Structure 1
Amino acid sequence: MRPVYDYVIVGAGAAGCVLANRLSEDPKVSVCLIEAGGSDRHPYVTMPRGVAKIMRMPSFVYFFKTNPEPRTAMRQDYWVRGKMLGGSTSVNGMVWVKGQPADFEALAAQAGTQWGWSSFARAYEAIEGHELGAAPGRGGKGPLRISISPERNALTKAMNAAGAKMGWRFKEDVNEPDDGVGIGYMPRSIWKGRRQSAAVAFLRPAMKRPNLTVITGATTDRVLFEGKRAVGVEFLKDGARQQVDAKQEVLICAGAVASPAILERSGVGDPALLASLDIPLVHAQPAVGEGTSEHRCMRMQWRLSKPVSFNLKYRGLPLIASVLRYYLLRDGPMSGSSMEMRTAFKSRQDIETADIQVQLGLYSWDLTKPSSELERQHGFSTIAYGMVPSSRGSIHITSRDPGEQPAIVANYYATDYDREVILSCARQMREWAAQQPLAELIASETTPGPAAQTDAELLESIDQLGVAGLHTVGSCRMGTDETSVVDPDLRVRGVEGLRVIDASVFPVIPAGNTQAPVIALGWLASEIIHGRG
């Protein structure tokens, strides 16, 4: 006889951990959480700068490969996702960017009024235990602890001063709910030197409850249906197929790459694709896997004339000293997030909100080597992109085997709009670097470098050296229209007892990163489930 639970949650990532916590608060409700990965208790996960190591370990991350295309110089791009409790919140760069009010008002226009800024602001106020305390749209006493990067040196001060000359107001909190324009120190899901993942903040406290069952090392194959009602989940664990039943609902929280694949293997998708793989059709939904959106980031780097970067702190004896300091004091270079600062600004002055984000790191990469290695000279780096790209791609399975990777068409920079935004970004960043006192610290621009001046040359740099932002959305789009995959209550259209709750439901990327919006999505989804079942 199969185990039976009220709710079966697939995926212990940002939203899945929140849902497991919130739904299991009711002792009369039984919850099963299924995760393909294992435990998150690894020193490289706990130590924030361990991200550089953990992101190269196949036992803890998926390396999803995109199809080669011109915007990746005909090479495969890598969309890395976490494979452990906490999902990608256990392996990401820990930056905490929440999106602007205008993003969520745009979401409400497409997906229903309950998804506007007032709802997300209320969720953030409940979720965050922020170092800066409570404020509108910010929480001071929530379970997820947020701190501000403490790094203050000649370089960070010069960056802020140069930003002021560009009209980018210094912000104590770069997530202030305004038009988004500004510069400041990066908020981080780090507290007292430790990563604060969704597993740490939400799942671990809930795992003490007897009504929550967590199954790890279990790769979900498909949702089980009786007619058009979801009644359970089939997964592979230790080489054997197992099944669990859901009395109320199945909640898919597997992420924007895996969730559409699970739907397709379950018989919900484009009929022609499913027929080609001999998958019985449960419900025809051609939008599954379509409408995918992802950032392709432009790298810009500068060589410094003074020793004010972190490059030498992450090699040789200084690295050993930094690691020892971390384990003794829980601070120092190994306790920081992937990026220390953030700026956002407009590609054109006639638009209402910032549409460009640049994350600033106090180190620089040696891009002449295939491995991730810092330069031996002092430098700093930036990761830049248009926050809300208009180009759309797709994600579809090519096999019934859940171990096979899907086909991912990124379709980066396919629109004139996306190309115009990133070119504006590059030119404004060069103008920023020319401002004093930052200019006097800079010896030269190394990436793309002074040889890249024309639009074509700058775009070529993105093709050759760009990286995926790892903020995929849209593959199970939410909307009020009948062609959307899920409705405003996150229910999969055309079937019963099944919802998708993760980044895949966002029609567009909330301006910036996706960790914070997806955690807030999970929080709000739990309210919908509690209130409407």
Structure 2
Amino acid sequence: MDADSFDYVIVGSGAAGSVLANRLSADPGITVCVLEAGPPDRNPFIHIPAGFIKTLVDPGVTWQFKTEPLPMTGGRRISTTQGRTLGGSSSVNGMVYNRGQPADLDNWAQRGNRGWGYADCLPYYRRSENRIGEGDHSRGRNEDGIPVTDMDWINPVSEAFIEGCVGLGIPRALDYNSGDQAGVGYFQRAIRNGRRVSAARAFLKPAMRRPNLEVRTNARASAILFEGKRAVGIRYLAARGAPPREVRARREVILSAGTVNTARLLQVSGVGPVDLLERLGVPVVHALRGVGANFRDHYASRFVMRAKPGVETLNQLGRGMKLGVQIARWGLRRPSILATAPSHVHVFWKSFEGLDMPDLQCVFTPGSYVEGKVYVLDDYPGVTAGAWQHRPESTGWVTARSTDVFEDPVINPNYLSDPMDVRVHLGGMRLVRRMLNTPELARYLEAETLPGSQAQTDDELLDFAKRNGSTTYHLIGTARMGPETDPSAVVSDRLLVHGMQGLRIVDASIMPSMPSANTYATTLMIAEKAADFILGRQAAEAA
């Protein structure tokens, strides 16, 4: 076998790439090569759930992307970090497993994407999941899936927050992943025995024992190779200035590089809007104006309250002797702050009364962080709660600055540029404030420190959102799925690039609209479904 020729070449080893590598290489008659721009996932902080505090700012395992400075972010450039190691963002994310609402996918199908309704996709959610805990028939129990477990470290302040939400009329949710999302409760997460289980650990590592799968790390894709309109391989670099290498694909090139890098790779390879390709000096292989467009992200504003003296939160537990105790508990696989997701409690609710279903996701953590610092604990005990709009209308773009793939692209999410997004965001901020000021929490908390009592009007709250809001790292849409008759669509409902041969995209960039959720679970589902397309299997029977 030619060492640089495979049936399938997958660019990216994140959530989608890891699933695909596993499912495709299960057929011993198929050869697969995975190219990962980052290093192996040996950094110990990847595998300790609380280690996200370290990895999120570590350029050794992440793409340290930043948005453009925008009017609605107070002229700030916001870090929108993505994973760059085996497992991709699943090795550095918040580990939350959240499918969203059935209506999200039904909307995709209504846009002309056949076979993408909720009933069609539910079998693939099940296939990618190993639910460890309670759940009805909608949950997956697949030992080859991502383990999804319940929170086991509970703080009394979190319990009081939940009780306060119930007092406001928000029901306690039994299972927000069952299809009925509304309510308050603890997040489910991809943690087992106190360790993060990334897509690489769940899917890629077991498959790497197979002789027909090769994984190449530190291999940054720099161009898709074409013969006419057919993708035939990938050129990649080990480092800036290193001699380029090529790997050939006999059947397909599959882009699973993530919403930012997939769009950029298409553009620098000559697939995208003609005016952009001309500015880059790239010969046009295929004109597709939707490449890099339809970019969306969730934008969150978070409130902080100081806890009363004697109330124990992550701020005390994360320092000194108490941290030592937590480390010991983690080592013994007992409940510990080291084995929790960054967000402990979820609230899926409505920005205004009268809505049929939640349009907000709210989060609560019994800990607080220094203003403007990424997960640096305050020196006083506190709590944090935030909210973001489920389905933002604001859209932006991702465009390559040059053909140098070591230069970060332009990332413009256009946060809060749509008036409806502003309305919903303000509704979410007011809801968060109500949830933090319930009688049930009053015995634990004493004062709001961010934004503070001086922010009361819509203008004052919006000013705070501009100065302090941030990404939730849920980037989607830059190669969106849609019928070929839609000039802004990039891939078909089988995820093949319109007008091309041998080129498929399988990652969050294909999402036509934002799911009412974190994007990880749906990306896993997309990859499971794509594997059936690629292998020529009949689609799983709709639920």
Shorter-normalised TM range: over 0.9
Distance change (3 Å), C-alpha of 1:8 and 1:371: closer
| Deviations 1:302-325 (CA, angstroms, capped at 9, x unpaired) | 112251422101112222332233
SS at match of 1:511: coil
Query: Which residue number corresponds to residue 471 of structure 2?
Result: 468
Q: 1:134 to 1:344 in 2, by over 3 A?
A: closer
Indicate yes or no: 2:277 matched with 1:281: no
SS of equivalent residue, structure 1 residue 114: coil
Q: Identity percentage over the alignment? A: 37
What's the offset of the Cα at 1:153?
3.6
The match for 1:423 is 426
Residues 249-292 of structure 1: CA deviation (Å, up to 9, x unaligned): 10000000000000001110111111122211110111110110
Instruction: Please tell me the residue identity of whatever aligns with 1:341.
Output: V
After TM superposition, the score normalised by the length of structure 1 is: 0.97
Contact 1:158 1:436 in 2 (8 A): no
* Map of 1:320 onto structure 2: 324
Residue 49 of structure 1 deviates from its aligned partner by 0.4
Which of 160, 163, 167 matches 2:162? 160
The answer to whether the 8 A contact 1:111-1:478 is kept is: no
Deviates more, 1:329-338 or 1:45-54: 329-338
Alignment partners' CA distance in 1, 2:376 and 2:278: 46
How big is the shift at 1:469?
0.9
Say yes or no: does 1:509 pair with 2:514. yes
Match of 1:299, SS state, is strand
2:541 — aligned with what?
none
1:31 counterpart residue number: 32
Residue in 2 that maps onto 1:205: 206
1:364 to 364, 368, 372: 368
Is the CA contact 1:392–1:410 (under 8 Å) kept in the aligned structure 2? yes
Tell whether the 8 Å contact from 1:311 to 1:376 is kept in structure 2 after alignment.
yes
For the structure 1 residues 338 and 371, does the alpha-carbon distance in structure 2 shift closer, same or farther, using more than 3 Å as the test?
closer
Alignment partner, residue 45 of structure 2:
44
Counterpart position of 1:433: 436
Moved more, 185-194 or 132-141: 132-141
Question: Aligned ranges for residues 206-221 of structure 1 at < 5 Å?
Answer: 206-221=207-222
Q: Which residue of 2 aligns with 1:406?
A: 409
Confirm whether residue 271 of structure 1 aligns to residue 274 of structure 2: yes
Residue pairs, 1:65-464, within 5 angstroms:
65-142=66-143, 143-178=145-180, 180-238=181-239, 239-305=242-308, 306-329=310-333, 331-367=335-371, 370=373, 372-464=375-467
How many residue pairs match? The answer is 531
Deviation track 1:15-43 (CA, whole Å, cap 9, x = no partner) reads: 00000000011100001100001111221
Q: Which moved more, 1:454-463 or 1:142-151?
A: 142-151
In the alignment, what sits opposite 1:11? 12
| SS in structure 2 of the partner of residue 104 of structure 1 | helix
Contact 1:174 1:342 in 2 (8 A): no
Give per-residue Cα distances to partners, 1:325-362, cap 9 Å, x unaligned.
32243541111111111111012333222110011111
Bigger mean CA offset, 297-306 vs 80-89 = 297-306
What stretches of structure 1 of length at least 5 have no aligned partner? none
1:482 partner letter:
D
| Structure 2 contact 306–446 (Cα < 8 Å) conserved | yes
User: Per the alignment, do residues 130 and 371 of structure 1 end up closer, same or farther by CA in structure 2, a change over 3 Å counting?
Assistant: closer
CA distance in 2, matches of 1:333, 1:102: 35
Output the amino acid matched with 1:489: R
Whole-angstrom distance in 1 between the partners of 2:38 and 2:500: 28
Task: Confirm or deny: 8 A CA contact 2:104 2:516 kept in the other structure.
Answer: yes
What is the CA deviation profile of residues 72-106 of structure 1, one whole-angstrom value per residue up to 9, with x for unaligned ones? Answer: 11011111000100000000111111111111111
Shift of 1:531: 1.8
Match of 1:522 in 2: 527
1:436, CA displacement in angstroms? 2.1
Deviations 1:125-160 (A, max 9, x none): 222111224523211233211111123342122112
Q: Which amino acid aligns with 2:502?
A: G
Native 8 Å contact 2:173 2:182 kept in 1: no
Q: 1:499 aligns with which of 495, 500, 504?
A: 504
SS in 1 for 2:530: helix
| 8 A contact 1:192–1:331 mirrored in 2 | no
Q: Which runs of 5+ in 2 are unaligned?
A: 539-543
Give TM-score, length-normalised by structure 2: 0.95
Contact map agreement 1:472 1:503 (CA 8 A) in 2? yes
Q: Distance in 1 between matches of 2:23 and 2:89?
A: 20
Structure 1 segments of 4+ aligned residues over 4 angstroms from their partners: none
Deviation at 1:364, TM superposition (A): 0.5
